[in-house]
């Protein structure tokens, strides 16, 4: 299946804009053969998002700069 390179939600092949995180797809879609089940909490809004997400599909905040912090936060929970 193809996934959004930003929020890692499943997208249709050829999608130009992700309906989940509202980003235009300027990178290639990620091709995976598994469904992501692991979740983490968004550092900004606290909602559940996929563990691999680089952007929150709820509040559209980029998580790259806090990825280390949110990983630690996830283990504590
Ligand atoms: Zn997305
Ligand atoms: Zn969020």
Q: How much is the pTM?
A: 0.76
Ligand that lies nearest to the alpha carbon of residue 21, given by its number in the listed order: 1
What is the pLDDT of the chain when averaged over all its residues? Answer: 86
Length of the chain as a residue count:
77
Nearest to 49 by CA among 2, 4, 1: 4
Distance 58 CA to ligand 2 centre (A): 5
Q: Separation of 4 CA from ligand 1 center, angstroms?
A: 5
Alpha-carbon distance of 32 to 47, in angstroms, equals 24
Q: How confident is the model at residue 50 (pLDDT cuts 50, 70, 90)?
A: very high
User: Distance between CA atoms of 1 and 69, rounded to whole angstroms?
Assistant: 29
Q: Quick one: which ligand is closest to 42's CA? A: 2
In angstroms, what is the span from residue 12 Cα to ligand 1's centroid? 11
Structure tokens, 73: 């936060």
């Amino acid at each position: 299946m193809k996934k959004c390179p930003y929020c890692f939600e499943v997208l249709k092949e050829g999608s130009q804009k992700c309906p989940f995180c509202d980003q235009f797809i300027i990178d290639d879609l990620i091709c995976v053969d598994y469904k992501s089940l692991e979740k983490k909490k968004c550092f900004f809004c606290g909602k559940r998002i996929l563990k691999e997400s680089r952007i929150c599909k709820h509040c559209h905040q980029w998580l790259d700069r806090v990825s280390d912090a949110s990983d630690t936060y996830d283990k504590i929970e």
